Amino acid sequence: MPQAKRGDTVTIHYTGRLEDGTVFDTSRERDPLEFTLGRGEVIAGFEEAVEGMAPGDEKTATIPGEEAYGPRRDDLLVTVPKEVLPPDLDPAVGQQLSVRTPEGKDMTVQVVDVDEEAVVLDANHPLAGLDLTFEIELVKID
């Protein structure tokens, strides 16, 4: 039976869990995920876990935070004066906002602190710094 290798397009079902067992994402209620091994379309540790699997194989793989979304970075916490925010925006802790970088790229940030004069925005990926466990089933190899 063929095994998944770099260059193969694979179709998989997965469930991702945090260390406490909380499910943060799953393909089980939707179409399976399709990607090509070696193209960097998914996090590196996930890609490595799928390599060598054959259709029908199932496995559980834990991916350290460094191989998933990287470590949390303090330099991605940005304090913004309230006066530069849109006047109709009422920022609240936990709120997600879309901002445009100086390079013109849109990105999602989360409000982590609000006071009278400023708002602190966190541009880290929500899963940065966390070890992730995936239950993976290889459906097919193309």
| Rounded Cα–Cα distance for residues 77 and 120 (Å) | 7
Those residues whose C-beta lies under 8 Å from the C-beta of residue 23, and which sit 6 or more positions away, are 15, 16, 17
What average pLDDT does the segment 83-90 reach?
92
Residue 60 in domain: yes
Number of domains in the chain: 2
Q: Write out pLDDT tens, residues 54-81.
A: 999 999 999 999 989 999 999 999 999 9
Has residue 1 been placed in a domain?
Answer: no
| pLDDT at residue 101 greater than cutoff 90 | no
Mark whether 90 and 38 lie in a shared domain. Answer: no
Percent of all residues in the chain with a pLDDT value above 90, rounded to a whole number: 95
- Structural domain harbouring 28: 9-70+127-141
Tens of pLDDT, residue by residue over 107-127, are 999 999 999 999 999 999 999
- Model confidence at 44, pLDDT cuts 50, 70, 90, reads confident
3-state secondary structure the chain: CCCCCCCCEEEEEEEEECCCCCEEEECCCCCCEEEECCCCCCCHHHHHHHCCCCCCCEEEEEECHHHCCCCCCHHHEEEEEHHHCCCCCCCCCCCEEEEECCCCCEEEEEEEEECCCEEEEECCCCCCCCCEEEEEEEEEEC
Q: Supply the CATH number for residue 60's domain.
A: 3.10.50.40
The mean pLDDT of the chain is 96
Residue 28 shares a structural domain with residue 45: yes
CA distance 113 to 130: 21
| pLDDT confidence of residue 1 | 81
The answer on 52 and 14 residing in a single domain is yes
- The single-letter code of the amino acid at 2 is P
